[in-house]
Structure 1
Amino acid sequence: MLRTLFSKGHRSTETETDSGRGEPAESRASTVGWLLNTEKTSIIWDSPKPVRIDSQSGDPRSVGQCPSVLDFDRRHFAINCPIDVHLRLNLTGGDMDITNVLAEKSPIRSDALQRWIVFQPRHEWRHPQRPVLQMLTSYIFVSDDPVYINQYPPILHHMPDRPGIQINGRFPIDIWPRALMWAFEWHDTAKDLVLRRGEPLFYVRFEGPDPAAPVRLIEARKTPELESFISSITGVSEFVGQTYSLFKTARERRPAKLLFPKE
C-alpha cells in the first residue's frame, strides 16, 4: 500500500513493504536538452557524451568497478574541443604578446582564431600576472525542470598541456539557457597552451532538487519560443554586472515549455 508522509510542508510518497518499512520511491529523471546556437560551422562541434573511463581490470574490487566511482563518472558529460590550438605567451611588464605556434600549419586561419579566442582586458583578470582567455562555444542547454548546470575542467582526463586552471560556473538552465563559454586562467606563462581537437575541453554536470535523480540528455529543437527567450538574455552582461539579479524576471517571462526533442 502507499503511505503519504508530510514533513514541513513537503509531501513525499513511500511504498510500504510487508515488513512495514518504507522504501523511497524511485527518483524521477530530469530531462535536459542540448542544442547548438548557430548552424554555421556547427558540424565541427561534437555531441556531448557521458564520461566513461575504461578499466583494464576485471577485479570487482578495482577502482573501475566501484559503484560510487561509476556513479560519479557517468553524471559528467564531455564537451570536446573543436579545433587545434597551440599558443605561446610573452608577458613582460605591461605588454602581452601572443604567438600562434602552428602558424601556417594551423588548420584555423589567424583572423578566425582571433575572433574565436579572446583575451580579457588586463583590469578584469583576477591576478595581474595571470591572463584570462575565453573561447565562445555553440552549446546551449535547456530544461523544463529546475536544473542547474555546472561547468567543470576535464578532471577525469590527464591534461598536461594546460598551464593554468579553467574558470568554472553554475547557473539554472530552465530560466537561463545561454551559450557556454570556456574560460582559462594562464598561471605558468612560461609554458605553451595546447588544445587538441577531439579532446575534452570541459565537462558539464547537472543538478536538480533530487541529487539521486538521473539525467536524460536529449538533442533539443530550436523553436521560435526558445530562440526568442535565448535572445532576451543574450548579451545582458554588457549592461548588468550581476546577471543573477535578473533571474526573477527571467522566470516570470519564461514560456511554460521550452524543451522539445529534435525530430
Structure 2
Amino acid sequence: MNINLTYERPDEGPESGPLFVGWFRSTDKNAVLYDPPERVSFRQTNRAHAKSAARCPSVIQLESRYFMVKCPFDLQIGFARDDKGRAVLVNRAGTASPIRSNKINEILTLVNENEWRYPDRPTVQLILPYCFIADEIVYVTQLSAFMHYRKDPLPGTIFGGRFPISVWPRPLMWAFEWHEPEKDLVLRRGEPLFYCQFEGMDPSRPVQLVEAERTAELNAYIEAVGGAVNYVNQTFSLFKAAEALRPKKLLSVKNRD
C-alpha cells in the first residue's frame, strides 16, 4: 500500500515531531455519554524511590503509548436460550438497570450464532461511536485494558483488531467472546473498556491525540467507505480503492474556543 499522506507542520519535516491522530464521534447522538479517549497514566503512584517502577523509563514509555476508552454504560447482562433454543440476552439488572430494557438492543447486540468462532462461546458487540483519523500512515490496534485490574474479571475475552486509520476511519466496536456464558457480563460506566495503540512508520515518534473536526470532506469520505463491511468479506482488499478516493488532508483539529 503506497500512501503518501502528511500532516502539515510549518517548521518541521512531514515525518518529524509528534504523530498526530485525530479522534471524533461518528454521531452526536447521546455524545455526552462518550468521554474523550485519554492517555493511560498512573500518576498517583510511589515515585519517591529512584528505583520505583513509576520512574522506570521503559514503564513510562509503555504506558504513554496506550490510550484508554472508558465504558459509557452500566450493564449486567446474562446469556440464555428461549423456549425455541434461540440464543438471547437477558437484562439481569431488571428494573434497577439505568438503561431501559427496550433500549439495550440499540447498544448491545448478540452476533448471529452461525458467526461465532466457537459453538459454545457467544459473541456480543457493544456499539460505539469512536473513530480515529490521521493524515499519514497510522495503524490502530484495539486491545483489552490489560494494565487495569478488575476485581471481578470478565467471563471471556475481547476481540482485538488492527487496521490503518489513515484510509479506514470506521467506528470501533467492543466485541466480546463469552467463554463462560453461565456467568453474567458486568460492565461499569467509567471503567476502562479497551486500549488503543497507534503505530506510524517511525515507532520512536510520540503520539499526540487531538479531537478532530468533522469537516465536509471527512464526512464525505466516511460515507464513501463506511458501509462497505456489510457487502464484502475482505474489506482490507478495498484499501487501495479507498486511498484513491481520499483527499490529501482529512485531519482538522476541532476549535474549542
Question: Under a length normalisation based on structure 2, what TM-score does the superposition of the two structures give?
Answer: 0.89
- Residue 40 of structure 1 and its aligned partner are, at CA, apart by 1.2
Match of 1:153 among 141, 144, 153: 144
Q: Which blocks of at least 5 consecutive residues in structure 2 are unaligned?
A: 1-14
Q: Which residue of 1 aligns with 2:68?
A: 78
- Secondary structure, aligned partner of 1:166: strand
Any conservation in 1 of the 2:134–2:250 contact (CA below 8 Å)? Answer: yes
- Secondary structure, aligned partner of 2:103: helix
Q: Which blocks of at least 5 consecutive residues in structure 1 are unaligned?
A: 1-25
RMSD: 1.6
Counterpart residue type for residue 20 of structure 2: T
Alignment of 1:75-154 (within 5 A): 75-90=65-80, 94-154=85-145
Q: Which residue of 2 aligns with 1:3?
A: none
- Residue 94 of structure 1 and its aligned partner are, at CA, apart by 4.8
Matched, 1:247 2:239: yes
Q: Which residue of 1 aligns with 2:202?
A: 210
Counterpart residue type for residue 111 of structure 1: N
Match of 1:43 among 24, 27, 32: 32
Q: Which residue of 2 aligns with 1:60?
A: 50
- Residue 153 of structure 1 and its aligned partner are, at CA, apart by 0.6
Partner Cα distance (2:158, 2:144) in 1: 6
Match of 2:217 among 206, 217, 225: 225
Counterpart residue type for residue 156 of structure 1: M
Relative distance call for 1:179 and 1:97 in structure 2 (3 A) is closer
- Secondary structure, aligned partner of 1:35: strand
- Secondary structure, aligned partner of 2:128: strand
Question: Under a length normalisation based on structure 1, what TM-score does the superposition of the two structures give?
Answer: 0.87
Partner Cα distance (1:215, 1:57) in 2: 24
Q: Which runs of 4+ in 1 moved over 6 A?
A: none
Any conservation in 1 of the 2:19–2:206 contact (CA below 8 Å)? Answer: yes
Partner Cα distance (1:123, 1:176) in 2: 27
1:217-249 Cα distance to aligned partner (Å, 9 max, x none): 111000000001011111211111000000000
Any conservation in 2 of the 1:161–1:195 contact (CA below 8 Å)? Answer: no
Structure of larger gyration radius: 1
Q: Which residue of 2 aligns with 1:32?
A: 21
- Residue 91 of structure 1 and its aligned partner are, at CA, apart by 5.6
Q: Where is the strand percentage greater, Structure 1 or Structure 2?
A: 1
Relative distance call for 1:27 and 1:55 in structure 2 (3 A) is farther
Tell me which of the two structures has the higher relative contact order, counting C-alpha pairs closer than 8 angstroms and 6 or more residues apart.
2
Any conservation in 2 of the 1:52–1:74 contact (CA below 8 Å)? Answer: yes
- Residue 28 of structure 1 and its aligned partner are, at CA, apart by 2.7
- Secondary structure, aligned partner of 1:150: strand
1:90-134 Cα distance to aligned partner (Å, 9 max, x none): 369954342211111111111211121001111111100000000
1:179-198 Cα distance to aligned partner (Å, 9 max, x none): 11110000011211100001
- Secondary structure, aligned partner of 1:137: coil
Any conservation in 1 of the 2:35–2:69 contact (CA below 8 Å)? Answer: yes
